[in-house]
Amino acid sequence: KNEVEQSPQNLTAQEGEFITINCSYSVGISALHWLQQHPGGGIVSLFMLSSGKKKHGRLIATINIQEKHSSLHITASHPRDSAVYICAVDSSGGSNYKLTFGKGTLLTVNP
């Protein structure tokens, strides 16, 4: 079993829909990252969080440390949000020595 599990693996939505991507992990962590990867490879860091909730524009990330679960929400989705969204956890004690990644969720937003 992977240390980091994401669901769903694939998600197709219509423009304007509210999107939720989930991440569950099995190890103790000091931080969790949500990353975005577009076709061609480049990865962009969206959020790093260790508790509570963060918001940036239409993106919201929440984490429940007790339940070992995090969610990434996208409000009013747009075709340009189409990408792979990856959850990664830092279980190295807070120094980001080593991130463990989920396999990613492929999001396609249709116009």
Partner 1 sequence: DAGVTQSPTHLIKTRGQQVTLRCSPKSGHDTVSWYQQALGQGPQFIFQYYEEEERQRGNFPDRFSGHQFPNYSSELNVNALLLGDSALYLCASSWQGYEQYFGPGTRLTVT
Cβ distance to partner 1 smaller for residue 17 or 68: 68
Which residues lie near partner 1 (CB under 8 A)? Answer: 4, 33, 35, 40-45, 48, 86, 88, 92, 95-104
Please report how close the Cβ of residue 101 comes to partner 1 at its closest, in angstroms: 3
Query: What six digits make up the tokens of 58?
Result: 């239409």
For residue 20, give every residue at least 6 positions away whose Cβ sits within 8 Å of its Cβ, in sequence order, or none. 71, 72, 73
Cβ distance to partner 1 smaller for residue 65 or 84: 84
Cβ distance to partner 1 smaller for residue 77 or 91: 91
Render 47-93 in DSSP notation, one character per residue. EEESSEEEEETTEEEEEETTTTEEEEEESS--GGG-EEEEEEEE-SS
Please report how close the Cβ of residue 16 comes to partner 1 at its closest, in angstroms: 29
Please report how close the Cβ of residue 68 comes to partner 1 at its closest, in angstroms: 17
Cβ distance to partner 1 smaller for residue 17 or 92: 92
